[in-house]
Structure 1
């Protein structure tokens, strides 16, 4: 499989190594200084670029009939437009806030726990995410996905960063050196606490999931998620 990498930072380089180890070829490494892109050699594209570039990268790949896997966060104001464009052009597109296989199982556990807790008003839920200091967006896309899983199954109306009122799910974002990603969901009452937590030990899990998603999407048409890739529906 011929893979193009949009964004060649730490994640791009890790994806490259995993893809090569799985027998694939990297046919393009597109970064901020790239001026010409040959889409004809690509079987699939993986985007871990900048928030300002992600939407245009997705549109360009779809326009050139190249399936695209996007893991860039911070651009989701344009997500609905990307979905509409993909459907219009009959393209193939996956966006995930986190491609880690463990995190996507964690998403399912989080939503299931929220359903179990939704009528237990004595519990207040809070979230905390910790990442490396180079991460540009806060809260993380993973934290937002977790929050959406709780909002869909609770009385909370929306989420807020660091502080909020009783109708808001508060997400605390921390930035520390050399932390790939830790996410905590905690339900607290006067008598006890329940928590679930995912801790990434390195970025390899994110990269592996993105490569697995790129293998899965070949030959398909539509807008998908990691729930489809992992058959979690």
Structure 2
């Protein structure tokens, strides 16, 4: 993702002033961070929060695409408020996926009165994906459960409990990401699917979000970036 983001950002005329990975963490200093207008954070659940806080300490707005840390969401939002910072999180930056989120919400509203349908989900990613289910799958599940009130929570396994929303995670290389939501009944199935062909959509959306966040304070999401 970092390489894809850099390529798109440079092509759009932006300057990359700092790149941090596991081999040069000593360069991740406050003075170095301050050279940036916006930081884009794509790492892993174990590093994301410290990275976010360090950028906010430096007064730099953060666009975060790391997932798997959201149990500490309030901690990060409170820290952003304390620092009067700018923070944007998305479980997925792809424009197509964000359109898919809206479609998922709309379909769930339509399906809500029809209790004869049971809804389940499948997500497929590459084997280096650190968390399961994916952040995108969790966002989709939350969209379903907001309207299908019989679903009280999601589980990352097959289940016969009608109150659980089943999410099946598969890890297959080189899949960038596929998400499907299926409504099944004895009569028919209704299914929507988003399939990413590469990582360019995620990277271009992250750069778009960074452009949006320059100079902003507060907490934002991709709906605001895309004007939904």
TM-score bin (small chain) = over 0.9
Q: CA RMSD in A?
A: 0.9
Q: Does 2:177 match 1:184?
A: no
Q: Which residue of 1 aligns with 2:12?
A: 22
1:35 to 26, 29, 48: 26
Secondary structure of 1:172's counterpart equals strand
Q: How does 1:84-233 map to 2 (within 5 A)?
A: 84-155=78-149, 156-164=151-159, 165-232=161-228
Instruction: Tell me: higher relative CO, structure 1 or 2? Use CA pairs within 8 A at least 6 residues apart.
Output: 2
The 1-side partners of 2:38 and 2:107 are apart by 35
Unaligned runs of at least 5 residues, structure 2: none
Secondary structure of 2:47's counterpart equals helix
| Structure 1: 4+ residue segments shifted above 2 A | none
Contact 2:44 2:130 in 1 (8 A): no
The 1-side partners of 2:66 and 2:6 are apart by 16
Q: Give the C-alpha shift of residue 154 in structure 1.
A: 1.1
Secondary structure of 1:51's counterpart equals coil
Secondary structure of 2:60's counterpart equals coil
Q: Which residue of 2 aligns with 1:80?
A: 74
Contact 2:34 2:59 in 1 (8 A): no
Q: Which residue of 2 aligns with 1:4?
A: none
Q: Which residue of 2 aligns with 1:6?
A: none
Q: Give the C-alpha shift of residue 88 in structure 1.
A: 2.0
Greater share of strand residues, 1 or 2? 1
Give the total of aligned pairs: 222
Secondary structure of 1:26's counterpart equals coil
Q: Give the C-alpha shift of residue 40 in structure 1.
A: 2.0
Q: Give the C-alpha shift of residue 143 in structure 1.
A: 0.2
Give the TM-score normalised by structure 1: 0.93
Secondary structure of 2:79's counterpart equals helix
The 2-side partners of 1:221 and 1:160 are apart by 35
The 2-side partners of 1:175 and 1:45 are apart by 29
Secondary structure of 1:170's counterpart equals strand
Q: Give the C-alpha shift of residue 220 in structure 1.
A: 1.3
